[in-house]
């Protein structure tokens, strides 16, 4: 089969394998199949008879016999698509399928969602993988060093590829995200390495390192992070929280899936309050989820992270209950003016203004009083001011970089407008 034939004849089915809770090896859960442009799913008979079988995500794919169609308005169940690489990983796969070529040829690749799921590596987010076989599990997990993967990422950025991308690089870009990132396995720890770009307008990697460190200091659950260098550029290493000792994996669903939206088409309608409704219905700690969400909203406002869309929030799924994952992708963003808006509604009436006053007004929607919200805000602001220099030192921020972030992204004056 030629490359062009492969691109116009995408696979029409795949088998979904799952790491069940406490299991170190995957079992086949079922099959996904394209019919009239929609991806339906069916659980395998052997899986339904498995004593430890759980649904891939109960609200979408309940554990029962027969074909399950995607939710209305979607062409694939969100819990399956959550395991796909995002725009960066998809771009890498497109270039690979186009024979390592860029531009128009890569843009013409006719890849379906199944193509991306089958072509990406097996060390993907969560506890699912996609295979062409229902009987033999063949993991796509080639290892390479950070420098080796980073060198190819820079070539992708330059558009300077002389050969098809290596298996190790394609496998290492299986996680989601718009910016380049690669997977590094340093047994027993797995890391996501987030790379710098040559055209970054500000120190994105170190800014995220600062935000994640400050989040931990104000009491928000975050993964371990560290800043390192590779090929002369900064790299943020983020410890994976969906991996456990002994080869075990944790199932996850994005807030996008929890809200019933596909990709970013529903982003304009996404709401923290509606995420809380889902957590109260299915959450392990539904009674405390409101406070946890409000603390994260306040912190996003405090550090200027307005990229808090629904795919940048997720929850673990154990077959019965949801539990918020540690916070991730918390990074101060460039702002074009003084005013800013969060990516999701904060209040039940649709307000997204990046101001603490909005959090106070919306406190009751999170099961809290206005005074509770003020205490969260005041405590976080105080801690950020106290620890700013220490955290900036740890991240290696220069004097100019500190001046760029402080008061512009972090604790911008607009955040305090109307707050008293």
Same topology, domains 146-243 and 249-416? Answer is no
**What is the C-alpha to C-alpha distance for residues 145 and 143, in angstroms, rounded to an integer?**
7
Determine the topology of domain 249-416 in CATH. Answer: 1.10.1070
Q: Where are the domains of the chain?
A: 3-131, 146-243, 249-416
In tens, the pLDDT along 36-58 reads 999 999 999 999 999 999 999 99
Contact status, residue 208 vs residue 179, Cβ threshold 8 Å: no
pLDDT band at 342 (very low <50, low <70, confident <90, very high): very high
Query: 84 or 166: whose pLDDT is higher?
Result: 84
Q: Is the dihedral of CA 194, 197, 202, 203 positive or negative?
A: positive
146-243 CATH, one of 3.30.930.10, 3.90.1150.10, 3.30.200.120, 3.50.7.10:
3.30.200.120
In tens, the pLDDT along 175-207 reads 877 788 999 988 788 999 999 888 888 899 999
In tens, the pLDDT along 108-117 reads 667 889 999 9
Contact status, residue 353 vs residue 361, Cβ threshold 8 Å: no
Rounded mean pLDDT of 112-128? Answer: 93
For 136, the token pair is 């033999």
pLDDT at 4: 34
Please list, in sequence order, all residues whose beta carbon lies within 8 angstroms of the beta carbon of residue 129, skipping any fewer than 6 positions away: 16, 17, 18, 26, 83, 122, 137, 139
H-helix or E-strand containing 217? helix 204-217
**Model's pTM, two decimal places?**
0.93
């Amino acid at each position: 089969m030629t490359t062009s034939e492969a691109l116009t004849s995408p696979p029409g089915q795949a088998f979904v394998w799952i790491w069940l809770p406490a299991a170190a090896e995957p079992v086949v859960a079922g099959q996904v199949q394209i019919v009239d442009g929609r991806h339906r799913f069916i659980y395998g008979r052997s899986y339904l008879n498995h004593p430890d079988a759980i649904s891939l995500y109960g609200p979408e794919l309940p554990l029962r016999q027969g074909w399950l169609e995607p939710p209305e308005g979607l062409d694939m169940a969100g819990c399956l698509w959550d395991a796909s690489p995002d725009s960066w990983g998809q771009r890498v796969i497109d270039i690979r399928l186009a024979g390592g070529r860029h531009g128009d040829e890569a843009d013409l690749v006719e890849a379906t969602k199944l193509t991306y799921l089958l072509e990406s590596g097996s060390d993907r987010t969560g506890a699912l993988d996609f295979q062409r076989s229902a009987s033999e599990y063949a993991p796509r997990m080639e290892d390479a060093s950070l420098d080796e993967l980073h060198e190819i990422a820079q070539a992708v950025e330059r558009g300077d590829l002389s050969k098809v991308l290596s298996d190790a690089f394609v496998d290492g870009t299986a996680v989601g995200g718009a910016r380049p990132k690669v997977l590094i396995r340093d047994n027993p720890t797995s890391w996501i390495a987030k790379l710098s770009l040559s055209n970054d307008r500000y120190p994105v990697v170190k800014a995220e390192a600062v935000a994640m460190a400050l989040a931990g200091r104000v009491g928000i659950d975050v993964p371990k992070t560290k800043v390192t260098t590779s090929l002369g550029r900064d790299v943020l290493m983020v410890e994976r929280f969906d991996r456990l000792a002994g080869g075990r994996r944790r199932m996850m669903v994005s807030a996008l899936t929890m809200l019933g939206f596909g990709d970013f088409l529903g982003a304009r309608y996404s709401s923290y309050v509606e995420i809380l409704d889902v957590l109260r219905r299915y959450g392990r700690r539904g009674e405390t989820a409101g406070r946890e969400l409000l603390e994260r909203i306040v912190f996003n406002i405090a550090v200027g992270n307005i990229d808090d869309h629904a795919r940048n929030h997720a929850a673990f799924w154990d077959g019965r209950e949801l539990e918020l994952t540690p916070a991730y992708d918390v990074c101060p963003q460039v702002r074009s003016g003084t005013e800013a808006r969060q990516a999701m509604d904060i209040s039940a009436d649709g307000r997204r203004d990046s101001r603490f006053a909005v959090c106070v007004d919306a406190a009751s929607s999170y099961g809290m009083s206005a005074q509770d919200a003020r205490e969260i805000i005041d405590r976080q602001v105080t801690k950020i001011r106290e620890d700013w220099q220490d955290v900036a030192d740890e991240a290696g921020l220069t004097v100019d970089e500190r001046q760029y972030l402080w008061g512009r992204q972090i604790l911008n004056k607009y955040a305090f407008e109307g707050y008293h």
